[in-house]
């Protein structure tokens, strides 16, 4: 896993998430392009971070005026991919190396393909950011 350095801004967001939700965040990615903050929380803390009926996430959205996404951390690639694309059902994951680039092929249940890609490709975008950061994956293809 890569050595991750957090900015002061990211550390403030993590502290705020922990104060509001009680969930422990391991990482925070601020995506200025899509006005979104992605919190990577410790395994088992996603429910706590989201809150009953999304109450915690909605509170954070109001305070920060940004879109909030929560992903549970995982030490291995397969579990991390499943966590990122949840609730879409992942059928298989295959990592290939082409011309020195790591390409990840994710096969999802056909009825979940839209859910896996996300509105405007947002899920895939999040997956690219996180998988590059943690596993040095260069590209992701959804099948």
Q: Are the C-beta atoms of residues 69 and 92 closer than 8 Å to each other?
A: no
The string of pLDDT tens digits covering residues 33-46 is 889 999 999 999 99
pLDDT at 53: 95
- 125 contact partners, CB below 8 Å, separation of at least 6: 34, 118
| Fold designation for 8-72 | GMP Synthetase; Chain A, domain 3 (3.30.300)
Rounded to whole angstroms, the Cα distance separating 136 from 3 reads: 12
Q: Helix crossing, 77-85 with 122-135: angle to 10°?
A: 160
The string of pLDDT tens digits covering residues 14-23 is 999 999 999 9
> What residue ranges do the domains of the chain occupy?
8-72, 77-142
Stretch 113-127: mean pLDDT: 92
8-72 and 77-142 agree in CATH topology = yes
The string of pLDDT tens digits covering residues 81-113 is 999 999 999 999 999 999 999 999 999 999 999
Q: From the CB of residue 28, how many other CB atoms can be counted at a distance below 10 Å?
A: 22
Q: Which residue has the tokens 């803390």?
A: 45
pLDDT at 1: 46
Architecture of domain 77-142: 2-Layer Sandwich (3.30)
Stretch 63-75: mean pLDDT: 96
Tokens of 69: 């996404």
Residue 63: Cβ-neighbour burial (10 angstroms; 0-12, 13-18, 19+)? exposed
């Amino acid at each position: 896993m890569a050595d991750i350095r957090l900015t002061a801004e990211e550390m403030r967001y993590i502290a705020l998430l922990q104060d509001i939700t009680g969930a422990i965040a391991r990482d925070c990615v601020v995506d200025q392009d899509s006005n979104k903050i992605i919190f990577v929380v410790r395994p088992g803390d996603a429910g706590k971070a989201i809150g009953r009926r999304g109450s915690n996430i909605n509170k954070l959205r109001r305070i920060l005026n940004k879109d909030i996404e929560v992903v549970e951390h995982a030490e291995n690639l397969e579990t991390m991919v499943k966590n990122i694309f949840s609730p879409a059902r992942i059928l298989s994951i295959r990592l290939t190396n082409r011309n020195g680039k790591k390409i990840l092929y994710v096969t999802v249940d056909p009825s979940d393909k839209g859910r896996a890609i996300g509105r405007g490709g947002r899920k895939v975008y999040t997956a690219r950011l996180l998988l590059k950061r943690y596993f040095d994956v260069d590209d992701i293809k959804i099948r």
